[in-house]
Structure 1
Amino acid sequence: MKTINIAELLARCDGSFIPRRLDDFIGRQIIERQNGDTWVGARLIAELVVQGVQLANANQRSPLKYLLNGRPGLGKSALVAYLQQLLSCNKWNTIKLNGTECKVEMIREIAQQLAHTSLFGDWRMLWIDEADAIPPVAQVRFLTLLDDLPRGIAIACTSNCKLRDFDERFQTRFQAFEIAPPTTGEIISLLRRYLPDEPEVVNAANFADGNVRQALLDTKGLVQRSLQLLAA
């Protein structure tokens, strides 16, 4: 079995991979659902994020606010990590929380922190995973934080729920996206970056049903089984 870029494959599987270019994403489709929802591919969202950062930097670092929704394995965290990289943010100027941690007191404390000038760069980021788990009373306090953001602040929230499941007052304060699953062909193209000649990647892509993370983990399994056979 011919393998290439295995370090990248492993990093994608364990969550440590940091996208640094648009080609690290797949999915450029726009899907209009019968219920009125619009799903957008991760690669296309990444392109829009790049444009958003460029526009913000050209306008005195105007605040950025993104809400990324979609089922597991579609690249929500990867998109936030890409935004973080575009803004040259690191652990010193990034606050990362789970929605369950966002009590009213925490939101108030964050608002106070964001009001101060950063010593570590032009941008600071607030990254909230599982934003749908923010308690309702804290969401109300969060609205004020969103309205009063100073320049040079980016807020990125992710969730596994649908956009319409959020309070309208909350979600309309963001540039919000529902992430479309990539096509099977797009997933196959991604997996062939690591196993260019392995026919089993087609099965991995088919069985994943749009879940990129699952397809990558199955591909990692193919590599491990190949190594076991070589060692036998």
Structure 2
Amino acid sequence: MFGFRIQDKTSSPSLAALGIVERSEARAYAALIATGWSEIGFGYHGTVHAHPDHPGVVVRFARKADGFGDYAALLRTGFAGSDGPHAPRIHDLHVSRCGALMTVGARLSDPPRDAWWLAYAHAVIADHPGVAMDEGVRDRFRVAWPAHEPRIDHASFDGIREAFRAAWPGYEAYVAALRTVSPQGLDPNIGNVLVGIDGSPVVNDPLCDDGYGLWRSPLARGLARYAEVSRRLAGEVLGRLGRAPVPV
């Protein structure tokens, strides 16, 4: 999918500036299509849209606020490398009352499947020091890049690793910094590395699908956690009552 890179808010194209008014879960997708924002990509929860009158940006729409919302929130708070060439640039973010997420960002492109550095860029995201890689992830990696094992220190990365580090010395540091601030492990999905306008690899949408609500204020997150715990406790109580023996 296409992604986003942070930009100065004073010059960023917002949803309002792009004329996007409808942002609800039920009607936003149809409204985007009707106003010329054609779908150019999709994921588990979201679709990405481009418009011929706005070639430099894309709009992402998700019916539920997913991990991309958390990623956008982390980028906006700032951490090491979040303003650099390997982070997507977010222009605007909106979460509706029903939880739909819309973002505006600079357009990125898919890297060539035979890019010499692509396997290593994904291996950096997939690597978790001291933790064995999930076999499903390893299998997907083998299918995409059969010549490489998905471990950074494997001999098959000799040469590629060194050349990559020379070309983009800040990439691994950015991924490491993102891993330290992320509320969950990074997702090594094959589509999570895209290319910026300068040709650099950009880590796009690396958090898992279930959002943690980092775009909300600390108070709103606390209230949401309280409501979730209350619902869970109420369900347990009702479950126990339902299992209670019937007096005779």
User: Radius of gyration: which is bigger?
Assistant: 2
Taking structure 2 as the reference length, the TM-score comes to 0.26
Structure holding more helix per residue? 1
